[in-house]
Chains A and B, each alone.
Chain A
Amino acid sequence: MTSSNLSMSILRRSLRVLAGAATLGVGSVLLWQARAPQDLPAPLVTGEAAITNAYTLTDHTGRTVTADSFAGQWQLVFFGFTHCPDICPTTLGYMAQVMDLLGPDAEQVTPIFVTVDPARDTPDVMAAYVEAFHPRMVGLSGTEAQVAEAAANFRVWYERSEDATAPDGYTVAHAGHIYVMAPDGGFVDVWLEGDAPADAFAANLASLIQSTGNSS
């Protein structure tokens, strides 16, 4: 894998972010363990190796999918929820813009939106969302346990918090990163909307795609 200076600096920053998230995440890992089944992966410490592209979820067409379903494609993976009116549509719009900027290379990329609120974000809801943003976008939902497992594997922190002023009385705080996963499923790096313009993200992805050739 070759990376530009830009992607290396983002990777280095990402790893610092992840180290911080791991420190913060102790409480939430305990929370997951308290409410999720025993088959959760053991918590890992930190760093690139800790991020695992592994899940079993239901896509927006109702099909059961795993990370292997997207093998051979570059994947942009974002965790959010549809009751989130600000950060989530902003990030999904950013991902769609990156896809458009990629031109023909976009055929080798699948943007994936995973809900952290599966109780409300059914496959039908996810279908409405992903179709509104990009024709190649995939929406993934599942059971609470399946989503918790997916988030744990990606080291994505999220937490439901009660909020009387929010719809249905709760909101979900969550990490807003976009994970770049290689066609072999390996973690490459992580981007955050607002940290880099869409064209910088697209240029970085294009160089990654060029570096591996048009194999897919």
Chain B
Amino acid sequence: MKTIAIAFLAAALPGLAAADVIVTAPWARASILVSRPGAAYLTLTSDTGDRLIAVKTPAADRAMLHGTETDADGVSRMAHIEALDLSPGETVTLAPGGMHLMLMGLAAKLEEGASFPLILRFESAGEVAVDVPVLGVAATGPEGEE
């Protein structure tokens, strides 16, 4: 229902000023083999509330939002998240063991020290581009947090 309501509003009010989504602390892990999917992480905040509906990058054929769910028995499963709702003022952090952007079909290995552009598309804010630094294979958080 919420989906429909937001989609309807967006369609009905095309002239509405685009709301801002702040994307901070993006990072990705270096890849070991180009044939294996990569993972990128970042933090999202929207003052007015928004919805992440698509992600793309020239670094990979496809980028998808995945959630890792670890149950009480320590069993982890990945689930594809079609769209991510951002509540007004709430900060959503993608981090290891939680949500990640899975990068499939890498154009090249993600090399530590390099960076790549990532384009996030939001329902209201439209496209937001960020530059994602590639950290080490064992990195657990963005630069300066370890």
Contacts and interface: CB of A to CB of B under 8 A. Distances in A.
B73 A157 contact: yes
Interface residues of A, number: 37
B115 interface: no
A83 B137 contact: no
Contact of A192 (B39, B74, B105, B138): B74
Instruction: Give the dominant DSSP class at B's interface.
Output: strand
B34 to A, nearest CB: 11
Contact of A24 (B33, B73, B140): B73
Interface of A: 17, 20-21, 24, 82-87, 89-90, 92-94, 96-97, 125, 128-129, 132-133, 157, 161, 163, 165-167, 171, 173-177, 192-194
Interface in B92-136: 96-97, 100, 102-105
Given A86-B100, A171-B78, A176 B36 contact: no
Contact of B138 (A24, A92, A194): A92
Interface residues of B, number: 30
A193 B98 CA distance: 12
Nearest to B78: A171
Given A96-B138, A167-B37, A85 B100 contact: yes
Nearest to B75: A175
